[in-house]
Structure 1
Amino acid sequence: MGKTITIEALDGSGTFNAYVAEPAGGSPKAAVVVIQEVFGINAGIRDKADSLAKEGYLAIAPDLFWRLEPGIELDPDTQLQQALDLFPRFDQQKGIEDIEATIRTARALVNGGKVGAVGYCLGGRLAYMTAARTDIDASVGYYAVGIDGLLGESHAIARPLMLHIAGNDGFVPPEVQKKMHEGLDNHPRVTLWDYPGLDHGFATQFGKRRVDDAARLADSRTSAFFAEHLA
Protein backbone atom coordinates (compact mmCIF):
# COMPACT_ATOMS: atom_id res chain seq x y z
CA MET A 1 0.00 0.00 0.00
CA GLY A 2 2.78 2.41 0.88
CA LYS A 3 5.53 4.23 -0.97
CA THR A 4 8.45 6.47 -0.08
CA ILE A 5 8.72 10.13 -1.06
CA THR A 6 11.43 12.73 -0.48
CA ILE A 7 10.86 16.03 1.33
CA GLU A 8 13.12 19.09 1.32
CA ALA A 9 14.14 20.36 4.77
CA LEU A 10 13.00 23.92 5.47
CA ASP A 11 16.52 25.02 6.40
CA GLY A 12 17.94 23.77 3.10
CA SER A 13 20.25 21.30 4.84
CA GLY A 14 19.10 18.28 2.87
CA THR A 15 16.20 15.98 2.18
CA PHE A 16 14.51 13.25 4.17
CA ASN A 17 12.28 10.32 3.31
CA ALA A 18 8.67 9.86 4.33
CA TYR A 19 6.48 6.78 4.11
CA VAL A 20 3.16 7.52 2.40
CA ALA A 21 0.03 5.37 2.44
CA GLU A 22 -2.96 6.34 0.29
CA PRO A 23 -6.55 5.09 0.31
CA ALA A 24 -7.52 2.60 -2.33
CA GLY A 25 -8.90 4.41 -5.34
CA GLY A 26 -7.28 7.70 -4.35
CA SER A 27 -9.23 10.84 -3.38
CA PRO A 28 -8.21 11.07 0.32
CA LYS A 29 -10.59 13.08 2.51
CA ALA A 30 -7.66 14.71 4.36
CA ALA A 31 -4.05 13.99 5.34
CA VAL A 32 -2.56 12.79 8.62
CA VAL A 33 1.11 13.11 9.58
CA VAL A 34 2.16 10.04 11.58
CA ILE A 35 4.89 10.99 14.06
CA GLN A 36 7.26 8.21 15.03
CA GLU A 37 8.29 6.79 18.37
CA VAL A 38 11.98 6.61 19.32
CA PHE A 39 12.11 3.43 17.24
CA GLY A 40 12.01 5.21 13.89
CA ILE A 41 9.77 4.45 10.93
CA ASN A 42 9.43 0.78 11.77
CA ALA A 43 6.79 -1.78 10.83
CA GLY A 44 4.43 -0.53 13.53
CA ILE A 45 4.49 3.07 12.32
CA ARG A 46 4.05 2.00 8.71
CA ASP A 47 1.08 -0.12 9.78
CA LYS A 48 -0.42 2.88 11.61
CA ALA A 49 -0.15 4.80 8.34
CA ASP A 50 -1.69 1.93 6.38
CA SER A 51 -4.60 1.80 8.84
CA LEU A 52 -5.26 5.52 8.40
CA ALA A 53 -5.22 5.05 4.63
CA LYS A 54 -7.93 2.41 5.02
CA GLU A 55 -10.00 5.06 6.82
CA GLY A 56 -9.70 7.32 3.78
CA TYR A 57 -6.75 9.51 4.75
CA LEU A 58 -3.46 10.13 3.03
CA ALA A 59 -1.02 9.18 5.80
CA ILE A 60 2.57 10.38 5.75
CA ALA A 61 5.26 9.34 8.24
CA PRO A 62 8.47 11.41 8.00
CA ASP A 63 11.85 9.99 9.03
CA LEU A 64 12.62 12.50 11.79
CA PHE A 65 15.87 10.81 12.77
CA TRP A 66 17.46 11.44 9.36
CA ARG A 67 19.83 14.04 10.81
CA LEU A 68 21.22 11.34 13.14
CA GLU A 69 21.08 8.46 10.69
CA PRO A 70 18.59 7.97 7.86
CA GLY A 71 16.38 4.91 7.96
CA ILE A 72 16.62 3.97 11.64
CA GLU A 73 14.17 1.14 12.29
CA LEU A 74 14.19 -0.56 15.70
CA ASP A 75 12.17 -3.29 17.44
CA PRO A 76 10.53 -2.00 20.66
CA ASP A 77 10.69 -5.44 22.27
CA THR A 78 14.41 -6.03 21.74
CA GLN A 79 16.08 -2.66 21.05
CA LEU A 80 14.67 -0.33 23.71
CA GLN A 81 18.02 0.86 25.07
CA GLN A 82 19.33 1.59 21.59
CA ALA A 83 16.22 3.68 20.98
CA LEU A 84 16.50 5.51 24.32
CA ASP A 85 20.08 6.42 23.48
CA LEU A 86 18.80 8.31 20.43
CA PHE A 87 16.39 10.49 22.40
CA PRO A 88 18.88 12.99 23.89
CA ARG A 89 20.68 13.27 20.54
CA PHE A 90 17.53 14.24 18.69
CA ASP A 91 17.07 17.97 17.99
CA GLN A 92 13.37 18.44 18.75
CA GLN A 93 13.14 21.92 17.24
CA LYS A 94 14.58 20.60 13.96
CA GLY A 95 12.08 17.77 14.27
CA ILE A 96 9.23 20.29 14.43
CA GLU A 97 10.67 22.05 11.37
CA ASP A 98 10.68 18.71 9.54
CA ILE A 99 7.09 18.10 10.63
CA GLU A 100 6.20 21.56 9.29
CA ALA A 101 7.80 20.64 5.96
CA THR A 102 5.78 17.42 6.01
CA ILE A 103 2.56 19.32 6.75
CA ARG A 104 3.20 21.56 3.72
CA THR A 105 3.85 18.52 1.54
CA ALA A 106 0.74 16.79 2.86
CA ARG A 107 -1.44 19.84 2.20
CA ALA A 108 -0.23 19.93 -1.38
CA LEU A 109 -0.96 16.22 -1.81
CA VAL A 110 -4.58 16.74 -0.70
CA ASN A 111 -5.02 19.90 -2.78
CA GLY A 112 -4.92 22.32 0.11
CA GLY A 113 -7.16 20.22 2.35
CA LYS A 114 -6.92 19.67 6.07
CA VAL A 115 -3.97 17.99 7.75
CA GLY A 116 -3.91 16.28 11.13
CA ALA A 117 -1.12 14.68 13.13
CA VAL A 118 -0.87 11.66 15.39
CA GLY A 119 2.22 10.74 17.38
CA TYR A 120 3.38 8.11 19.84
CA CYS A 121 5.79 8.41 22.80
CA LEU A 122 8.38 10.92 21.54
CA GLY A 123 5.91 11.46 18.71
CA GLY A 124 3.19 12.22 21.25
CA ARG A 125 5.37 14.98 22.69
CA LEU A 126 6.03 16.25 19.18
CA ALA A 127 2.29 16.15 18.42
CA TYR A 128 1.74 18.53 21.35
CA MET A 129 4.54 20.78 20.11
CA THR A 130 3.07 20.62 16.61
CA ALA A 131 -0.29 21.76 17.98
CA ALA A 132 1.38 24.74 19.68
CA ARG A 133 3.87 25.70 16.98
CA THR A 134 2.32 24.97 13.56
CA ASP A 135 -0.91 25.44 11.63
CA ILE A 136 -1.93 21.77 11.95
CA ASP A 137 -5.71 21.33 11.91
CA ALA A 138 -5.95 18.67 14.65
CA SER A 139 -3.41 16.65 16.67
CA VAL A 140 -3.40 13.49 18.76
CA GLY A 141 -0.67 12.30 21.12
CA TYR A 142 -0.39 8.84 22.64
CA TYR A 143 1.54 8.53 25.94
CA ALA A 144 3.37 11.78 25.27
CA VAL A 145 6.49 12.30 27.37
CA GLY A 146 7.58 15.45 29.19
CA ILE A 147 4.44 17.51 28.60
CA ASP A 148 4.78 19.12 32.04
CA GLY A 149 7.75 21.05 30.68
CA LEU A 150 5.71 22.33 27.72
CA LEU A 151 2.60 23.57 29.52
CA GLY A 152 3.81 27.15 29.11
CA GLU A 153 3.04 26.78 25.40
CA SER A 154 -0.56 25.70 25.91
CA HIS A 155 -1.89 29.21 25.18
CA ALA A 156 -0.64 28.78 21.59
CA ILE A 157 -2.79 25.70 20.95
CA ALA A 158 -5.45 27.09 18.62
CA ARG A 159 -6.70 23.87 17.00
CA PRO A 160 -8.04 20.69 18.64
CA LEU A 161 -5.58 18.45 20.50
CA MET A 162 -6.30 15.08 22.14
CA LEU A 163 -3.89 13.24 24.44
CA HIS A 164 -4.12 9.59 25.51
CA ILE A 165 -2.50 9.07 28.93
CA ALA A 166 -1.37 5.67 30.22
CA GLY A 167 -2.11 5.62 33.95
CA ASN A 168 0.85 3.41 34.88
CA ASP A 169 3.31 4.90 32.38
CA GLY A 170 6.90 4.22 33.40
CA PHE A 171 8.03 7.31 31.46
CA VAL A 172 5.22 9.65 32.61
CA PRO A 173 4.92 9.35 36.41
CA PRO A 174 1.78 10.27 38.38
CA GLU A 175 3.05 13.72 39.31
CA VAL A 176 3.55 14.57 35.63
CA GLN A 177 0.09 13.27 34.76
CA LYS A 178 -1.32 15.44 37.56
CA LYS A 179 0.39 18.53 36.12
CA MET A 180 -0.96 17.69 32.67
CA HIS A 181 -4.51 17.62 34.02
CA GLU A 182 -4.03 20.78 36.08
CA GLY A 183 -2.60 22.62 33.09
CA LEU A 184 -4.87 21.32 30.34
CA ASP A 185 -8.23 20.15 31.72
CA ASN A 186 -9.79 23.59 31.30
CA HIS A 187 -8.22 24.31 27.93
CA PRO A 188 -11.04 24.74 25.39
CA ARG A 189 -9.10 22.99 22.61
CA VAL A 190 -7.64 20.06 24.56
CA THR A 191 -9.16 16.69 25.46
CA LEU A 192 -7.40 14.24 27.80
CA TRP A 193 -8.23 10.54 28.08
CA ASP A 194 -6.87 8.42 30.93
CA TYR A 195 -6.24 4.67 30.72
CA PRO A 196 -5.80 3.49 34.33
CA GLY A 197 -3.29 0.75 35.02
CA LEU A 198 -1.83 0.73 31.53
CA ASP A 199 1.82 1.22 30.68
CA HIS A 200 3.60 3.17 27.98
CA GLY A 201 3.14 1.76 24.49
CA PHE A 202 -0.24 0.10 25.10
CA ALA A 203 -1.52 1.12 21.65
CA THR A 204 1.42 -0.12 19.62
CA GLN A 205 0.44 -2.12 16.55
CA PHE A 206 2.70 -5.09 17.28
CA GLY A 207 4.71 -6.61 20.11
CA LYS A 208 4.51 -7.29 23.81
CA ARG A 209 3.46 -3.80 24.87
CA ARG A 210 0.07 -3.83 23.14
CA VAL A 211 -3.10 -4.09 25.22
CA ASP A 212 -5.65 -4.86 22.56
CA ASP A 213 -8.92 -3.66 24.13
CA ALA A 214 -7.40 -0.39 25.31
CA ALA A 215 -5.62 0.15 21.99
CA ARG A 216 -8.88 -0.32 20.11
CA LEU A 217 -10.67 2.10 22.44
CA ALA A 218 -7.99 4.78 22.08
CA ASP A 219 -7.87 4.33 18.31
CA SER A 220 -11.67 4.59 18.08
CA ARG A 221 -11.49 7.90 19.93
CA THR A 222 -8.77 9.08 17.58
CA SER A 223 -10.84 8.06 14.55
CA ALA A 224 -13.87 9.97 15.83
CA PHE A 225 -11.70 12.99 16.62
CA PHE A 226 -10.24 13.12 13.13
CA ALA A 227 -13.64 12.50 11.54
CA GLU A 228 -14.94 15.56 13.37
CA HIS A 229 -12.00 17.93 12.95
CA LEU A 230 -10.59 16.98 9.54
CA ALA A 231 -13.91 16.88 7.72
Structure 2
Amino acid sequence: MIIQKHDQDITTPTGTMRCTVYHPNAEGRFPCIIFYSEIFQQTAPIARSAALMAGHGFVVIVPEVFHELNPIGTVLSYDDAGKDKGNTDKFTKPLEDHDTDTVAMISAFENAEYCNGQFGSMGVCLGGHLAYRAALNPRIQAAFCLYATDIHSNTIPCKEGNDSFTRTAEIQGEITMVWGKQDPHVPTEGRQKIYQQLMDTERLFTWHEFNGQHAFMRDEGDRYDPALALECYTKAIALFQRTLNR
Protein backbone atom coordinates (compact mmCIF):
# COMPACT_ATOMS: atom_id res chain seq x y z
CA MET A 1 0.00 0.00 0.00
CA ILE A 2 1.05 3.60 -0.58
CA ILE A 3 1.61 5.29 2.77
CA GLN A 4 1.80 8.77 4.22
CA LYS A 5 3.32 10.09 7.43
CA HIS A 6 3.05 13.01 9.77
CA ASP A 7 4.40 14.10 13.14
CA GLN A 8 2.02 14.48 16.05
CA ASP A 9 2.94 15.88 19.44
CA ILE A 10 0.94 14.41 22.30
CA THR A 11 0.71 15.20 25.98
CA THR A 12 2.05 12.72 28.53
CA PRO A 13 2.39 13.05 32.33
CA THR A 14 6.12 13.68 31.82
CA GLY A 15 5.87 16.22 29.02
CA THR A 16 5.22 16.56 25.31
CA MET A 17 6.14 13.52 23.25
CA ARG A 18 6.57 13.62 19.50
CA CYS A 19 5.22 10.65 17.58
CA THR A 20 5.75 10.00 13.90
CA VAL A 21 2.74 8.29 12.38
CA TYR A 22 2.91 6.15 9.24
CA HIS A 23 -0.35 4.89 7.78
CA PRO A 24 -1.93 3.77 4.51
CA ASN A 25 -2.89 6.51 2.12
CA ALA A 26 -6.35 5.03 1.72
CA GLU A 27 -9.86 5.33 3.04
CA GLY A 28 -10.77 3.29 6.08
CA ARG A 29 -9.59 2.51 9.57
CA PHE A 30 -6.56 0.36 10.28
CA PRO A 31 -5.02 -1.39 13.31
CA CYS A 32 -2.34 0.50 15.20
CA ILE A 33 1.14 -0.75 16.02
CA ILE A 34 3.20 1.20 18.53
CA PHE A 35 6.76 0.77 17.24
CA TYR A 36 9.36 1.36 19.95
CA SER A 37 12.83 2.29 18.76
CA GLU A 38 16.31 1.51 19.96
CA ILE A 39 18.08 3.89 22.36
CA PHE A 40 18.92 6.09 19.36
CA GLN A 41 15.26 7.08 18.80
CA GLN A 42 13.88 7.38 15.27
CA THR A 43 16.91 6.78 13.08
CA ALA A 44 16.67 6.12 9.33
CA PRO A 45 16.55 2.31 9.81
CA ILE A 46 13.71 2.67 12.34
CA ALA A 47 11.81 4.92 9.94
CA ARG A 48 12.22 2.38 7.14
CA SER A 49 11.00 -0.43 9.37
CA ALA A 50 7.95 1.58 10.35
CA ALA A 51 7.18 2.43 6.73
CA LEU A 52 7.49 -1.21 5.71
CA MET A 53 4.99 -2.30 8.36
CA ALA A 54 2.58 0.53 7.52
CA GLY A 55 2.60 -0.51 3.88
CA HIS A 56 0.97 -3.79 4.90
CA GLY A 57 -2.14 -2.08 6.23
CA PHE A 58 -1.22 -0.76 9.67
CA VAL A 59 -1.01 2.58 11.42
CA VAL A 60 2.51 2.61 12.84
CA ILE A 61 3.25 5.05 15.66
CA VAL A 62 6.91 5.73 16.47
CA PRO A 63 7.32 7.65 19.74
CA GLU A 64 10.41 9.48 20.90
CA VAL A 65 11.09 7.12 23.78
CA PHE A 66 13.29 9.60 25.69
CA HIS A 67 11.24 12.71 25.05
CA GLU A 68 11.71 13.94 28.64
CA LEU A 69 15.48 13.87 28.30
CA ASN A 70 16.08 15.43 24.88
CA PRO A 71 14.79 18.25 22.67
CA ILE A 72 11.98 17.25 20.31
CA GLY A 73 13.36 15.70 17.16
CA THR A 74 16.54 14.32 18.73
CA VAL A 75 18.10 11.40 16.86
CA LEU A 76 21.31 9.89 18.19
CA SER A 77 24.05 8.65 15.90
CA TYR A 78 25.20 5.04 15.65
CA ASP A 79 28.56 5.87 17.18
CA ASP A 80 30.14 5.78 20.62
CA ALA A 81 28.79 9.20 21.59
CA GLY A 82 25.27 8.25 20.53
CA LYS A 83 25.49 4.90 22.29
CA ASP A 84 26.74 6.50 25.51
CA LYS A 85 23.98 9.13 25.50
CA GLY A 86 21.31 6.56 24.66
CA ASN A 87 22.42 4.21 27.41
CA THR A 88 22.50 7.07 29.90
CA ASP A 89 18.92 7.90 28.93
CA LYS A 90 17.91 4.23 29.19
CA PHE A 91 19.21 3.97 32.73
CA THR A 92 17.65 7.31 33.71
CA LYS A 93 14.04 6.97 32.59
CA PRO A 94 12.00 4.62 34.80
CA LEU A 95 9.70 1.99 33.37
CA GLU A 96 6.74 3.70 34.99
CA ASP A 97 7.23 6.68 32.66
CA HIS A 98 7.26 4.38 29.64
CA ASP A 99 3.95 2.97 30.93
CA THR A 100 2.33 6.39 30.99
CA ASP A 101 3.69 7.07 27.49
CA THR A 102 1.90 3.96 26.25
CA VAL A 103 -1.36 4.98 27.88
CA ALA A 104 -1.04 8.46 26.36
CA MET A 105 -0.52 7.05 22.86
CA ILE A 106 -3.53 4.76 23.10
CA SER A 107 -5.67 7.66 24.30
CA ALA A 108 -4.38 9.99 21.59
CA PHE A 109 -4.83 7.64 18.65
CA GLU A 110 -7.71 5.30 19.49
CA ASN A 111 -10.29 7.68 18.03
CA ALA A 112 -8.23 8.92 15.10
CA GLU A 113 -10.10 8.77 11.81
CA TYR A 114 -7.59 6.26 10.41
CA CYS A 115 -7.42 3.94 13.46
CA ASN A 116 -9.79 1.04 14.13
CA GLY A 117 -9.09 1.03 17.88
CA GLN A 118 -7.01 -2.17 17.88
CA PHE A 119 -3.44 -1.93 19.20
CA GLY A 120 -0.29 -3.99 19.03
CA SER A 121 3.32 -3.28 19.96
CA MET A 122 6.64 -3.96 18.26
CA GLY A 123 10.21 -2.98 18.94
CA VAL A 124 13.90 -3.70 18.64
CA CYS A 125 16.56 -3.80 21.38
CA LEU A 126 15.33 -1.43 24.11
CA GLY A 127 12.20 -1.17 21.99
CA GLY A 128 11.75 -4.94 22.18
CA HIS A 129 11.61 -4.58 25.95
CA LEU A 130 9.19 -1.66 25.68
CA ALA A 131 6.95 -3.68 23.34
CA TYR A 132 6.94 -6.46 25.96
CA ARG A 133 6.30 -3.91 28.67
CA ALA A 134 3.45 -2.35 26.66
CA ALA A 135 1.77 -5.75 26.55
CA LEU A 136 1.12 -5.39 30.28
CA ASN A 137 -1.55 -2.94 29.15
CA PRO A 138 -4.71 -4.93 28.29
CA ARG A 139 -5.30 -2.75 25.22
CA ILE A 140 -2.23 -4.30 23.57
CA GLN A 141 -3.54 -7.39 21.82
CA ALA A 142 -0.24 -8.63 20.39
CA ALA A 143 3.45 -7.83 20.78
CA PHE A 144 6.42 -8.62 18.53
CA CYS A 145 9.62 -8.23 20.52
CA LEU A 146 13.01 -8.35 18.81
CA TYR A 147 16.11 -9.07 20.92
CA ALA A 148 14.61 -7.34 23.94
CA THR A 149 17.26 -6.11 26.35
CA ASP A 150 17.16 -5.68 30.12
CA ILE A 151 14.14 -7.91 30.83
CA HIS A 152 16.23 -10.74 32.23
CA SER A 153 18.62 -8.45 34.09
CA ASN A 154 16.12 -5.88 35.43
CA THR A 155 18.54 -3.05 34.68
CA ILE A 156 16.05 -0.34 33.71
CA PRO A 157 15.00 1.61 36.82
CA CYS A 158 11.58 0.94 38.32
CA LYS A 159 9.87 0.57 41.64
CA GLU A 160 10.57 -2.65 43.50
CA GLY A 161 8.51 -5.50 42.09
CA ASN A 162 7.41 -3.47 39.07
CA ASP A 163 9.99 -4.82 36.62
CA SER A 164 8.78 -6.37 33.37
CA PHE A 165 10.04 -9.88 34.17
CA THR A 166 8.15 -10.05 37.46
CA ARG A 167 4.93 -8.76 35.88
CA THR A 168 4.94 -11.18 32.93
CA ALA A 169 1.78 -12.92 34.17
CA GLU A 170 -0.19 -9.72 33.44
CA ILE A 171 0.34 -10.01 29.69
CA GLN A 172 -3.03 -10.89 28.17
CA GLY A 173 -2.34 -10.69 24.45
CA GLU A 174 -0.27 -12.92 22.20
CA ILE A 175 3.45 -12.30 22.24
CA THR A 176 6.30 -13.26 19.91
CA MET A 177 9.89 -13.22 21.14
CA VAL A 178 12.76 -13.10 18.62
CA TRP A 179 16.42 -13.52 19.53
CA GLY A 180 19.84 -13.71 17.96
CA LYS A 181 21.90 -16.51 19.48
CA GLN A 182 25.07 -14.51 18.92
CA ASP A 183 23.68 -11.49 20.83
CA PRO A 184 25.94 -10.71 23.81
CA HIS A 185 23.33 -8.41 25.36
CA VAL A 186 20.96 -11.30 26.10
CA PRO A 187 23.04 -14.44 26.65
CA THR A 188 21.72 -17.99 26.65
CA GLU A 189 20.95 -17.98 30.37
CA GLY A 190 19.04 -14.71 30.00
CA ARG A 191 16.92 -16.06 27.16
CA GLN A 192 16.25 -19.25 29.10
CA LYS A 193 15.15 -17.24 32.12
CA ILE A 194 12.58 -15.31 30.07
CA TYR A 195 11.38 -18.47 28.28
CA GLN A 196 10.81 -20.23 31.59
CA GLN A 197 8.92 -17.26 32.98
CA LEU A 198 6.60 -17.23 29.98
CA MET A 199 6.07 -20.99 30.41
CA ASP A 200 5.51 -20.79 34.16
CA THR A 201 2.96 -18.00 33.77
CA GLU A 202 1.24 -19.84 30.88
CA ARG A 203 1.34 -16.92 28.48
CA LEU A 204 0.33 -17.29 24.83
CA PHE A 205 3.68 -16.88 23.10
CA THR A 206 5.86 -17.93 20.19
CA TRP A 207 9.63 -18.17 20.51
CA HIS A 208 12.25 -17.84 17.76
CA GLU A 209 16.03 -18.04 18.08
CA PHE A 210 18.15 -17.36 15.01
CA ASN A 211 21.83 -17.49 14.24
CA GLY A 212 22.08 -13.73 14.28
CA GLN A 213 23.78 -10.91 16.12
CA HIS A 214 22.27 -8.10 18.11
CA ALA A 215 20.54 -5.58 15.81
CA PHE A 216 20.39 -7.98 12.87
CA MET A 217 17.26 -6.12 11.70
CA ARG A 218 19.06 -2.78 11.38
CA ASP A 219 19.78 -2.15 7.70
CA GLU A 220 22.93 -0.17 8.43
CA GLY A 221 26.18 -1.65 9.66
CA ASP A 222 27.85 -5.02 9.47
CA ARG A 223 25.40 -6.91 11.68
CA TYR A 224 22.48 -6.59 9.26
CA ASP A 225 21.10 -9.90 8.00
CA PRO A 226 18.61 -9.18 5.19
CA ALA A 227 17.31 -12.76 5.02
CA LEU A 228 16.55 -12.89 8.74
CA ALA A 229 15.05 -9.41 8.64
CA LEU A 230 12.67 -10.39 5.85
CA GLU A 231 11.62 -13.52 7.73
CA CYS A 232 10.95 -11.51 10.88
CA TYR A 233 8.92 -8.86 9.05
CA THR A 234 6.83 -11.63 7.53
CA LYS A 235 6.20 -13.14 10.97
CA ALA A 236 5.32 -9.76 12.47
CA ILE A 237 2.89 -8.91 9.68
CA ALA A 238 1.20 -12.31 10.03
CA LEU A 239 0.86 -11.88 13.81
CA PHE A 240 -0.74 -8.46 13.58
CA GLN A 241 -2.99 -9.31 10.64
CA ARG A 242 -4.34 -12.25 12.60
CA THR A 243 -4.76 -10.57 15.97
CA LEU A 244 -5.68 -6.96 15.12
CA ASN A 245 -8.25 -7.44 12.36
CA ARG A 246 -10.91 -9.21 14.37
Q: State if a TM-score over 0.5 links the two structures.
A: yes
Segment drifting more, 178-187 vs 50-59: 178-187
* Corresponding residue number in structure 2 for 1:189: 204
- Where structure 2 has 5 or more consecutive residues not aligned to the other structure, the ranges are 155-163
Is residue 118–residue 139 contact of structure 2 (8 Å, CA) maintained in 1? no
Q: 1:28 deviation in Å? A: 4.1
* Corresponding residue number in structure 2 for 1:224: 238
Segment drifting more, 220-229 vs 39-48: 39-48
Q: 1:113 deviation in Å? A: 2.2
The correspondence of residues 46-85 of structure 1 with structure 2, limited to 5 A, is 46-70=47-71, 71-76=73-78, 79-85=82-88
* Corresponding residue number in structure 2 for 1:122: 126
Q: 1:157 deviation in Å? A: 0.8
The correspondence of residues 20-169 of structure 1 with structure 2, limited to 5 A, is 20-70=21-71, 71-76=73-78, 79-109=82-112, 110-148=114-152, 149=154, 150-169=164-183
Output the CA distance in 2 between the equivalents of 1:35 and 1:163. 15
* Corresponding residue number in structure 1 for 2:161: none
1:41-87 Cα deviation digits (max 9, x unpaired): 22122222211221111111111211001322123356333322322
Output the CA distance in 2 between the equivalents of 1:63 and 1:224. 26
Residue 177 of structure 1 aligns to which amino acid in structure 2?
R
Segment drifting more, 181-190 vs 18-27: 181-190
Residue 65 of structure 1 aligns to which amino acid in structure 2?
F
Runs of 4+ in 1 over 3 A off after TM superposition: none
What SS does structure 2 have at the residue aligned with 1:132? coil
Is residue 77–residue 208 contact of structure 1 (8 Å, CA) maintained in 2? no
Establish whether residue 175 from structure 1 lines up as the match of residue 189 from structure 2.
yes
Output the CA distance in 2 between the equivalents of 1:208 and 1:3. 31
After TM superposition, the score normalised by the length of structure 1 is: 0.91
After TM superposition, the score normalised by the length of structure 2 is: 0.85
Output the CA distance in 1 between the equivalents of 2:93 and 2:58. 28
- Where structure 1 has 5 or more consecutive residues not aligned to the other structure, the ranges are none
What SS does structure 2 have at the residue aligned with 1:213? helix
Output the CA distance in 2 between the equivalents of 1:112 and 1:55. 15
Output the CA distance in 2 between the equivalents of 1:77 and 1:201. 14
Cα pair distance change 1:15/1:55, threshold 3 Å: same
Q: CA RMSD in A?
A: 1.8
Cα pair distance change 1:28/1:202, threshold 3 Å: farther
What SS does structure 2 have at the residue aligned with 1:84? helix
What SS does structure 1 have at the residue aligned with 2:135? helix
* Corresponding residue number in structure 1 for 2:16: 15
Number of aligned residue pairs: 228
Identity %: 24
* Corresponding residue number in structure 1 for 2:216: 202
